[in-house]
């Protein structure tokens, strides 16, 4: 396992299901975001801090492959890692698995750009680039 992978585990909420009796496919997208938040905290910073400094990470690309459906009350683990850091772009990889059996529900990938408060694309601040790169090193 890559050493920069963070893991966060929680239970599926009832509201996250749909009438198919399984987790709605958009709910996983929210969990990916929670994976990113958790990656930041696991490595010593928080995304809240990033926004307080005047920047946001906007999603530009989202790819999700659905392997197996999660269900209400199951414990799921979101694994998240940094795939690529460039001056203006950032990529995360993910796996969402059954916390008990390890079976994979979803694999996913997101790309982001850094925006300032005026909504313009800017460089990811250097200290944050270092922070994002360091764990894989």
Contact pick of 63, 87, 116, 127 for its own copies (by CB under 8 A): 63
The two structure tokens encoding residue 72 = 């209400």
CB of 57 to its own copies, least distance (A): 9
Question: CA–CA separation, 43 vs 25, rounded Å?
Answer: 28
Token pair 């922070």 is found at 131
Is residue 72 a contact residue for its own copies (CB under 8 A)?
yes
Q: Are 133 and 82 in contact (CB under 8 A)?
A: yes
Question: CA–CA separation, 112 vs 43, rounded Å?
Answer: 19
Is residue 21 a contact residue for its own copies (CB under 8 A)?
yes
Closest to 29 measured CA to CA, from 62, 74, 72, 69: 62
Candidate segments 10-18, 77-85, 91-99, 124-132, binder of its own copies by CB under 8 A:
10-18
Contact pick of 4, 7, 37, 45 for its own copies (by CB under 8 A): 37
Which residues form the interface with its own copies (CB under 8 A)? Answer: 10-11, 13-15, 17-22, 24-26, 29-30, 33-34, 37, 46-48, 51, 56, 58-66, 69, 72-73, 119
């Amino acid at each position: 396992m890559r050493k920069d992978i963070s893991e966060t585990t929680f239970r599926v909420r009832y509201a996250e299901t749909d009438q198919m009796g399984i987790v709605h496919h958009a709910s996983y997208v929210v969990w990916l975001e929670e994976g990113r938040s958790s990656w930041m905290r696991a490595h010593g910073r928080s995304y809240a801090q990033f926004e307080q400094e005047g920047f946001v990470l906007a999603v530009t690309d989202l790819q999700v492959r659905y392997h197996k459906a999660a269900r209400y009350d199951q414990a799921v683990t979101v694994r998240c890692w940094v795939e690529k850091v460039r001056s203006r772009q950032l990529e995360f990889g993910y796996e969402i698995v059954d916390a008990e059996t390890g079976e994979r529900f979803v694999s996913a990938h997101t790309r982001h750009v850094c925006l300032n408060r005026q909504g313009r694309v800017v460089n990811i601040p250097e200290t944050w680039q270092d922070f994002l790169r360091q764990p894989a090193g």
